[in-house]
Structure formats: C-alpha cells, structure tokens
Chains A and B, each alone.
Chain A
Amino acid sequence: MQTRRFAIVTGTLLIGLILVPLGALAQTELVVWHAYRGGEKAAFEKAVAEYNKAKGGSIKVSTLAVPYDAYADKITAAVPRGNGPDIFIYAQDRLGGWIEAGNTIEPLDFFLEDEITSRFLPTTMEAMTYQDTVYGLPLNYKVITQIYNKKLVSSPPKTSGELVANAQKMTDATVGKFGLAYAYNDFYYHAALMNAFGGGVFGADGKPTMNSAANVKALEYLMMWADEKKILPAEPSTALITSLFNEGKAGIVFSGPWFLGEIDAGVDFGLALLPTIDEAGSPMRPWMTVEGVYIGAPSQHKDEAYDFAKFLTDKPAGVIMAVEGRQTPANTAVYDDAKVAADPILQAFRKQVEVAVPMPNKAEMTMVWSPATTAMNVIIKKNATPKAAMEEAQKEVVQRIAALRK
C-alpha cells in the first residue's frame, strides 16, 4: 500500500517536472532593464503589459528596474558576458563605449525597414547611429527649452535682443531677482549657446574641437550676458535655479522636462522656444539626450526582442509613455494623437526638438566632461579668458584620447 502510494506520488512529480519545462518551451521570455521610477515606471509597465496581452502568451516580457547610479556599469559588466537582459533602455551617451567594448549591443541595420526608420525624427535616428550603423531604436528625447513665469513675463522673448532687454528690466540683484536663470556653468546647458554659434565638441573628422573659434565666441557671448548685462545669477546650481523660480525671483529658466516636476503648484509657468541669437543668426540649439531601446548582443531571442522594440517605439505605446509617463517620444505620429496634441508641454518640447542637435555618442565623450566642466568653472569665476580655458580643455581632451591610442 505504502509503496504504491509512493510510486504514484513520485510518478506524478516526475511527469510534472517534465511537463513544466515543456510548457515553458512554447513561450519566449524576454527581460528588459530600465532605470525608470514613479510615473514613468508605471507607464512603461503598462505598455509592457499591453504587449504581453497582444502576444497572448507566445512572448512574455518581464521588466527589471535598475537604480540609475549603477545602471551603466551593470550593463558594461553583465551584458558582454551573457548575464544581461535581452533588451535595455538607456541614453545614447554611452553607446560608443559599449560598441567599442564589443559583444554588448546588436546592430539593427539588417532588421530595419524604411517604414520603421521613417516614423522617427531624423535627428533621433542620428543619435542611435554609430559609424553609419544603427544600434538602437529611439524611444524618447529630452531637450532644454524656455520655461517662463507667466506672471513676470507677459510674452516670452523670441530673440536674444528681446531676452536681454526684458531681463535687464526685471533684474534686481539686490533683492535677488533675475530676468534669466539657468545652470550656465554646466556644459550640457551651455551647449545650446555653443551649437547656436556653430561650435561643437567633435569635428566632422572625429577630432576634438574644444578650442574652436565658434566655441570661444559662444563663451564670450555668455560672459557678456553674465558680466555686462548682468542678467544671470552668480553660482547657478540647479538647486538655486529651482528655488529662484519657485519664489518668483526668476523670470525665465532654460531647463528640461526634469525641471517641471520641481516647480511649485502655485507658479503659473509656460513653455516657449529658446530664443534666436541675433549675433549668431541662429536659434539656440540645445543638445538632445535620446533614450534608445537596445538589443543585447548575446541575447538568444533577437527577433522577438526586435518585435518588442518596434512595439515600444510605435504609436500606441508612445501615447501611453507620453500621456502617463510624461515622456516626449521620438515617434512623430504620437503627437497627432488627440490627448498628446492637446498637451501644451509635450507640444512645446516637440517644437523645440526641431532645432536640437543630438549629443555625440562617441566613446571619447566621457573624457570631455571633466575638462569642459573645469573650463566652465574657471571662465565663470573669471580666473581665465574663454580662449585660454578652452585651449587648456582642448589639450586635456587630446591628451586623454591619445593615451587610449598608444
């Protein structure tokens, strides 16, 4: 009696053990890593749930939220060794480094069809391209734009002349009121001015151009705003900018979507395009950070991963990420949706991105930040002229790049 019961139980267990993996065999499991929190995370998981529903069990996507600080290093360490996810979402600034390291990101040219590439803003596709090969599908972009206090600024300035005139009227440094406040000591924010004057970090041949005449001119223009016209606050930390704007002591701020979450409920704010610089004859061209969906090179399910990437960057998922996640998707069709079209914030960023320049995705970009920040600090504290400081930065960047080439 005992042995029979034992035999039945063991038999059932064995059959169960065999059947369970068989059941799983029919289903492809994909893992996606991301660094979203709060509203963005909820929206993303909603989009993933929609995908899983649509696939009806043949493909199951599970997400893993990785804290932002360690995210890039985890990808670098885990993916090339086959321990990473099938898909991961990240900005384009580390793209070059990961491609050079090898076995991290799968090139997508083979899969791409014209109808897929044409749905994105061309500049976002550019951000996903490294050495003429496309490595990811652009998901969303972030740019800085003009955020103004409607009570203090009746109509946002369209040119730098208007900006300076209005700001000078508004500025009263004794009470700590400023017409214009933005983190101009952060090279990322300053890039908007730099690109307006035709400057840049790398030239067409891939060599650093930190000390180009255009860059120096842009910095001299910035110092004119700060010193001569005195419309900017000193030592502009992001915390200071936020507090100034919230206390009604700053008329205009140049910042991105991350700033909107910091604005107090009582402040009536509006968004407008960054002004055109009269002396440069070009609008301010901010850098855009493009978040892309990448497929891990060691992934065993690349076709399914690409299918998921296509879904995520398509219109329905884009609308979810835009309306609920407050992202600005790279898919142009999303902005025709009724809810998105009615949202002034999303439309404002959509208009701004038309003149934005994708941030360089070369591996050498990580070596630029430190010398650039030092140069900005030195110039703003007036410890060096723009020309001297940028020469120093250029030497430093060239030296660091050369050290990698020995």
Chain B
Amino acid sequence: MNLEAVKPRRLAIGLSLALLFAVGFGLWLQARGRAGLSAMVAERSAIVSLNALTEIVERVGLEGDSLQGAVARYVELHDGVASARVIRFQGIRMMASTAPEDTGEQAAPRKMAREEKPLYDLGQSLRAAVETNVQEGRAFKTEIDLQKLPAGGVGLAGPVAEGDKIVGAVLIEAIPSVYQVGGASWLQALLVLVVPILLLFALVKVVGDRPLVLLLLAALLLLVAVFLHGILGLEALHEERMAAEAHISQELTLTARGLATILAQEGLTASPPLEPADWDVDRFRRPLGLVTESAVDEQAVAVREAGEGRSYINLMIPVTVAALVLLGFVGLGAAGRTGAALSRHRVAYFYVMPAMVAMILLVFFPFSYGILLSFTNSNVYNTDQPLSDIWIGVENFVDILTDFELVKTTEDGRVFNYQNFYWTLGFTIIWTVTNVAVGVSVGLFLALILNTKGLVLKPIYRVLLILPWAIPNYITALIWQGMFHSQFGVINQVIQMFGGEGLSWFDSPFTAFITVLSTNGWLSFPFMMVISLGALQSIPNDLYEAARVDGATRWQQFKTITLPSLKPALVPAVIISVIWTFNQFNVIYLVSGGEPGGSTEILITEAYKIAFEQYRYGYAAAYSVVIFIILLTYGIWQNRVTGASEGV
C-alpha cells in the first residue's frame, strides 16, 4: 500500500466516484422499487377486477341467460376494464363477450372461432394448473395469467369453477389507470453526493497531512452517506407503499358496490355475501390479506416490506464494498498507474482486444452464467422464472459436499452408495491416476521402441500406432462396448476359446472399471507416445555415448539421461492428460454408461445425468463448478510444483 500517493485531490476524486457509484446504484434500486410499486398496484387492481367478474360469472352460472347482460353491465360500470370474454370448455363455446366485433351474427353464445384457439388453450392450461396445485397441495403453477398487450393495457385470464371442477375461463382486457408514485428527491441525492466531498476538504484542513487517517475518514464518509441515503429512501418508499395499499382498499370498496348493484339488477341474492378482500390475491389465487374494504392491515404490509428491505440491504452490501474498493483504488494511486500503463502500451492492448472480446463472449459469459445457475435451483419446471426468483445461494454446494452417506445400511447389509459425490470423486481420481499411468507407461515404452536406430518400416508403425488417436473416440467407445458384451463380445469369445467362461463385464464395479480402463488406455497412449518420441529425438546422442564409455547400464542411462530430458515435455503432457481424462465423458458414457448402478460414473457423466435425466439444471451446474474448482486447484498446484510454465 503506497500511502505516499494519498493526496487530498486523489481522495476527493476517489470519494466522488465511489459515491456516484454507490449512491447511484441505491437511487436505481429505489427507482426500481417505485416502479415495482406502481406495477404492483396496476396488477392488483387488474386482478381484483378479474376476480370480481369471475364472482359474477360463477353466481349467474355459465349457462345462465343473463350472463351476457351481466358481463356487459360489468364492463360498462368499470372504467378500467375495456372488454371481457367468458368461455366454456365443454363444446368449445364463447358464452359472453363484450368485444366490439362480437355482435350480430357473431354474438355470444357461439362456438369459438379458429383465431380464438389461443384463448381456449390458455383456459385449459389454467384448469390444469389448478388441478396440479390441488394435487401437489401447494402453489406450484400460476392460476391467473397476465400478459402485456401490444396495444397497451393488460390481458388477464382466470378460471371459472362450478363446484369442484373448473369448467371455463374469464378473460379481460384491462387498462388500469396509472397509479402515480412520488418521484425521488433530487435535492436529497445532490446533498448526499456533494456534502461528503465538502466535509472531506474541511477535514483535510483539520487533520493535516496524515494519509492513513484521511483514507479512513473518506471511507467513513462514504459509508455514512450510503447508509443515510438508504434509510431516507426506504422511509419514503414506506410512505408510498401505505398510500398504495389505501388506494387498493378504495378500489375494493368501489368494485364491491358496483357488483352489489349488478347482482341486484340481475335479481340474484347477495348470499353468500360478497367477500371483496378475497379478490385481492396473487397469481396463485392466494389471498394477500393486506387490505379489506375499509382498512389496511399495517402489520401484514410491514412483514412484506421487511422482506423487500432485506433484499435491498443484500444488494447494497456488495455494492458498498465495491465502492470502498473503488475509493481505495483511486485514492491510493492505482488508478493513475493503470491509466499510465494503458496509454504507454496502447498498441499492445489494441492487438489483444479482439481476442479478449471473443474470449469474453465465448468463454467468460457462458462460464459465468453456469456459475450463476449453480446458485439457483433451476430445473425443468421453473425455466421461465428469472434467476433472482429461484436463488438459493450455496444450498446446492452444501448438498453436494456435505453428503457423507457413502455406505448405506439396507436390509441385506452394508452397500456402497454409488450416487454419493465422494464415491464418484474417488472413482474419478482413481480413474484419472490409473489412466494417465497406463497411457504414459505404454506411450513411453512404445516411443522407446520406435526410437531404436535402424528400425525397419518405422513410418508404417508410427501410422498404425497413431490410429487409435485418429479414429473418433465416439466410434472407438462403441466398438469396445460391443467387444465386452457378455454374449457376443470378442473378448468373451476369446476367453471361451481358451476354455474359460466369459465374464459378465458390466455386472460388477471392478470388471466394468477394467472395460473403461482398457478403452481409454487404448485411446490415450498415442498422445503420450508422440510427445515422448519428439522429446526422445531431441536428446543428443553424445550423452549416451559418454554414459556408455563411463560404464553405465541401460537402466542407469534411462534413469539419468532419458527421464530428466523427457520431463519438460512429459510434465505439460501429463497435466493436459489429467484434465482430459478427468473429464473424459465419451468413454464412460458410451462404454459402461455408469453401470452397474452408477458405480462407474465420473463427475462429469454424473453431472450430465443430473441435468438431462433428472432435469435439475442448477444442481448440475453446481456439480460442474465443483469439478472446475478441483481441476483449477490441481492445475495451479501442479504448475507450482513442477515449474512447468516457468519458461513463459
């Protein structure tokens, strides 16, 4: 930390930048909160209108003669509802409609037209959602559908019940009056931005030239400013919230009065009595319990506000930390130094830029998305929800890493739990180690043979020995799987030829391991052979001459000359091979498929099965992040231990 670089001007610039960032972010969050409030009022008013209409429809009955009239009167009374339609599933009929084109010949009740198919499908999907929620016993699928209409306004759909069954749907087009929420106080924001800078300069005069104290004071000013701004903003939002709830309560009263009028006009009794509070529901048709006709339940509202307040704090904490870092970055002079470096090496950075952009798009973006996904419980049922709704933090990682149930006790004794992460991890490590060992030994051995002087037909041998690597490993894996077939496989046939009994290769974990080991061994030795051959050919012959003259045996020659010369080539090859083998999806998936019972799965095939057989995308993403961390740790450690990239 270069404290000499702390100058009041730098600190002031840093503080203003940090304040702009943090307070700006806070302002943005608060503005979003306000917009959310406005949207919430609009949505709830629209849902109240929908539910009130559904109430009428259910009381009059889908078959009632006066349904069309009642619906028309409702739309008349309600400014916020532009048009309404009621459909019945049985017979695919439109029972009532106030749309301008549905008059004369096209007046309801009639069979629905082809263009109205999406409405019918929507109604049926709401019915399925209601039945699913009843079956699951909880709010799983939304029962009210809300869509923004292209021409402005909102289209809502809700189910119509007759007894226990959902027999139809109500669809309305609502143009809710825009509820104005008070704007942000610009004066406040300006004060919060400007006052700390002025205070900083004042304090500089008081404190004098003590860099550490100035730095700490600047940080303190930042924290206080952000904190004050947050408190004041949340207070203002609370006021707005209470006003909004009061507005909704008023709407309930008005709607209830209108409904009572219609019921009276239709000659229907108002019993059971209207419960307007039940019209204020969420999209799962669960009553919100926040308002009634006459009052606002302040405690219930406070509970919801507490939740929103917590999320504000959760978001502001990392932002404030980032702002502090920014303050330090600028204040300690690092920003100045970076800027100078960038302008000094302008051309170099310009050359690197296209590659950086490509990397960001093709590597970093999918990679960070995968990491984000691992903090959610994304699965096939919630792909349409935004990530913030399904956020569960580190729960996936906790589930993966703290599941120590390696051995299960069943009725018939103790059995390994093959689905356990640690079993799969252990198997993957054993798989990697044995494979790399086999590959390196076989490859090195063959390279030594190929390297003998005067070997005839050397080019032919080289080509033949590269073939395993050249053939796509997908095909190789399938061929090997066929060879290990217990009935018709070549290997068992050969064993039987020699009088033995063929094994059922995929029935026990050990023999299944042998199958995948042989396949991957066959696939991986050419790579090692080529690397070793190249390195062997670069060893000068005089070393061997000298050793022979000194009386060294062939084994000593190998140990003291060959192996150390091979190290610079073999070590990176081993690192690459370890990472490839760790993630060798094709061989495991195609040869043993994880049989028996998941005992020969490696981490990557397990992640694949979790994602595409169990449809748990978030959990599988967490699995892949764990794999990444393991391999990254290994790579860094290996690099440090062997100094493999020392030359770079």
Contact = CB atoms under 8 A, between A and B. Distances in A.
A162 to B, nearest CB: 30
A179 B615 CA distance: 42
Interface in B596-648: 596-598, 612-616, 619
B411 A235 contact: no
A307 interface: no
Interface in B388-410: 392, 410
Which bucket holds chain B's interface residue count? 35 or more
A168 interface: no
Contact of A110 (B92, B140, B383, B612): B92
Q: Which of B120, B380, B410, B504 has the most CB of A within 10 A?
A: B380
Interface in A363-406: 363, 366-367, 370, 374, 377, 383-385, 388, 392, 400, 403-406
A237 B488 CA distance: 11
A97 interface: yes
Given A97-B380, A107-B124, A110-B121, A239 B485 contact: yes
B293 interface: no
B140 A405 contact: yes
A13 interface: no
Given A110-B120, A237-B487, A377 B597 contact: yes
B619 A374 contact: no
B114 interface: yes
B381 A366 contact: no
Contact of A109 (B124, B383, B412): B124
B107 interface: no
A155 to B, nearest CB: 31
A235 B380 contact: no
Contact of A385 (B125, B127, B411): B411
Nearest to B612: A73
A384 B410 contact: yes
A118 B411 CA distance: 50
Contacts of B125: 107, 133
A367 B615 CA distance: 9
Contact of B614 (A106, A374, A400): A400
A28 interface: no
Contacts of B614: 366-367, 400, 403-404
A374 B380 contact: no
Contacts of A206: 135
Interface string B267-309: 0000000000000000000000000000000000000000000
Contacts of B124: 107, 109, 132-133
B128 interface: yes
Nearest to A370: B613
A384 B128 contact: no
Given A102-B383, A131-B131, A367 B488 contact: no
Contacts of A132: 124, 127-128, 131
A148 to B, nearest CB: 22
Contact of B411 (A101, A303, A367, A384): A384
B117 interface: yes
Contacts of A405: 136, 140, 381
A240 B487 contact: yes
A367 B619 CA distance: 15
Contact of A101 (B117, B132, B383, B507): B383
Interface in B90-124: 92, 112, 114, 117, 120-121, 124
Contacts of A205: 135
Nearest to A73: B612
Contacts of A400: 614
Contact of A366 (B128, B383, B486, B613): B613
A27 interface: no
Interface string B453-496: 00000000000000000000000000000000111100000000
A97 B616 CA distance: 12
Contacts of B411: 384-385, 388
Interface string A240-252: 1001000000000
A2 B327 CA distance: 72
A264 interface: no
Interface in B418-477: none
B20 to A, nearest CB: 40
Q: Which of B121, B132, B486 has the most CB of A within 10 A?
A: B121
B488 A235 contact: no
B379 interface: yes
Contacts of A240: 487
A406 B127 CA distance: 23
Contacts of B112: 110
State the majority secondary structure of interface residues on A. Answer: helix
A240 B489 CA distance: 12
A130 to B, nearest CB: 8
B68 interface: no
A221 B487 CA distance: 27
A101 to B, nearest CB: 6
B380 A100 contact: yes
Contacts of B542: none
Interface residues of A, number: 36
Contacts of B615: 97, 363, 366, 404
Interface string B119-162: 01100110110011001100010000000000000000000000
Contacts of B114: 303
B111 to A, nearest CB: 10
Given A303-B114, A404-B380, A388 B412 contact: yes
A405 B616 CA distance: 10
B545 interface: no
A303 B114 CA distance: 9
Contact of B504 (A133, A235, A239, A367): A235
Interface in A63-113: 73, 97, 100-102, 106-107, 109-110
Contacts of B504: 235
Contacts of A237: 486-487
Contacts of A384: 410-412
B384 interface: yes
B377 interface: yes
A383 B416 CA distance: 13
Given A110-B121, A363-B380, A131 B132 contact: yes
A142 B488 CA distance: 27
B120 A109 contact: yes
A179 B116 CA distance: 60
A131 B141 CA distance: 13
Given A235-B486, A388-B412, A377 B135 contact: no
Nearest to B485: A239
A404 B381 contact: yes
A234 to B, nearest CB: 10
B433 to A, nearest CB: 28
A106 B117 CA distance: 11
Contacts of A406: 377, 392
A340 to B, nearest CB: 34
B100 to A, nearest CB: 23
Contacts of B507: 235
Contacts of B117: 110
A106 B381 CA distance: 18
B384 A388 contact: no
Interface string B369-381: 0000000010111
Given A106-B121, A370-B598, 8 more contacts: A107-B121, A110-B120, A132-B124, A240-B487, A243-B487, A363-B615, A388-B410, A404-B614
23 contacts: A97-B380, A101-B380, A101-B383, A102-B383, A102-B384, A107-B125, A109-B120, A109-B124, A110-B117, A110-B121, A131-B131, A235-B507, A239-B485, A363-B615, A366-B615, A370-B613, A388-B410, A403-B379, A403-B619, A404-B379, A404-B614, A404-B615, A405-B136
Interface of B: 92, 112, 114, 117, 120-121, 124-125, 127-128, 131-132, 135-136, 140, 377, 379-381, 383-384, 392, 410-412, 485-488, 504, 507, 596-598, 612-616, 619
Closest 3 CB pairs of A and B: A388-B411, A131-B128, A110-B117
